[in-house]
Amino acid sequence: MEILRAKAPLRISFAGGGTDVSPYPEERGGAVLNATIDKFAYATLLARSGSGSAKVHSLDFDVDAEYQAPQDFVFNGELDLVKAVLRHFHRSDAEIEIFLHSDAPPRTGLGSSSTMTVALTGLFQRYLRIPLTSYELAEMAYRIERVELGDPGGRQDQYAAAFGGFNFIEFSAGATVVNPLRIDPEVLNELAYRLMLCYTGITRYSGQIIESQTAAYRNRQAGTVEALDATKALAFDMKKELLTGNLDAMGHLLHDSWEAKKRFTEAVSTPGIDHFYEAARAAGALGGKLTGAGGGGYLLLFCDFRRRQEVAKAVTRAGGRIVDFAFCPEGVQSWAVRSVEGEWPSAPAPPPRAPSAAGGSGGPPDPFAGKQSINP
């Protein structure tokens, strides 16, 4: 039995999100500034000779599915993302099992679905020994998710997860170009200290927001077109401030980016999100924005360092939860798992639980306890 595993990093987006969604980049050119963080989507594959069947296990939500043939890979709302990947890479001479989990909850704006697509693509690249550059892997993941599955969205998430690190990514009709940014380590350390990631607890389906934005752009609604142009310009401005170490200016531009993003479509913000953001600003945040399409998820805040604790208290009182994170310089990675026994049962029995000092059940803590998780 062959056991392989892959992980891909989630990302935070500073500016330009939305300008990577077709047809805007093909017609006007798009640009985003983003960075990957130490939260990951994980995919594990067990493969043996067999009949071409596939089993999928969602470890965090205890969801299992089994497909006996390619005809079973029907898009019906259950694990459609995984089935799209299986359609693309299916082999009739192997029996496989896939285990999935992620460090972020679904529909929260960290690009978790696209990151899982990249993790799965990287996993099958390793399994099938397909020679792919980072560009080719990112574009393949994009086509699987956006074209073959038909899930609405842009390109930045796949490219961020494939490349990793701080990137300024430009989109046009002919190409996507990833520009890795070399940031002074002192600037990077200070930026990490000044940023705060707050989970609002509000989830949303980003596809509806993206479809609304795309329809408004196609109809040439002046406010939407102007807002997209503005957020693209802000991505260029923010890149300059970041590279020159002018972080306070970057924080203010983050606020401008959020104000521009709210003009994409009415669904981008909600009264609940506005409440979070206003509380953070009143407490000392220079700027901030939702990390994804909008409507909920994670709020990225840039703080006056003297008032960082006040900002944290304010968003916590508003019902949010501060999430620790660090920047991650690596993109998708895959590796072989060396099992001591040489086998890994598909449904391993839990380890025996020793009695606790109080007479109850003890044992090791759940390694996923307290984590937020997603399965596509």
Separation of alpha carbons 269 and 199, rounded Å: 15
Inter-CA distances, 341 with 344, 345, 358, 366, Å: 8, 10, 34, 22
Separation of alpha carbons 273 and 11, rounded Å: 20
Count, in order, helices (H) and strands (E) of the chain: 11, 12
Separation of alpha carbons 152 and 138, rounded Å: 16
The catalytically annotated residue of 20, 80, 157, 256 is 157
Question: What does the radius of gyration of the chain's CA atoms come to, in whole angstroms?
Answer: 21
Separation of alpha carbons 196 and 310, rounded Å: 12
Pairing of β 176-180 and β 195-199: unpaired
Neighbours of 202 (CB within 10 A): 19
The answer, yes or no, to whether the previous bond of 23 is cis (omega within 30 of 0) is yes
Inter-CA distances, 293 with 152, 153, 206, 339, 370, Å: 11, 9, 6, 41, 25
Separation of alpha carbons 6 and 22, rounded Å: 29
Separation of alpha carbons 370 and 99, rounded Å: 19
80 labelled catalytic: no
Q: Is 28 exposed, middle or buried (0-12, 13-18, 19+ CB in 10 A)?
A: middle
Separation of alpha carbons 8 and 118, rounded Å: 7
What six digits make up the tokens of 353? 């639980």
Q: Are 287 and 302 in contact (CB under 8 A)?
A: yes
Residue 271: strand, helix, or coil? helix
Separation of alpha carbons 53 and 45, rounded Å: 13
Q: Are 111 and 143 in contact (CB under 8 A)?
A: no
Residues involved in catalysis: 157
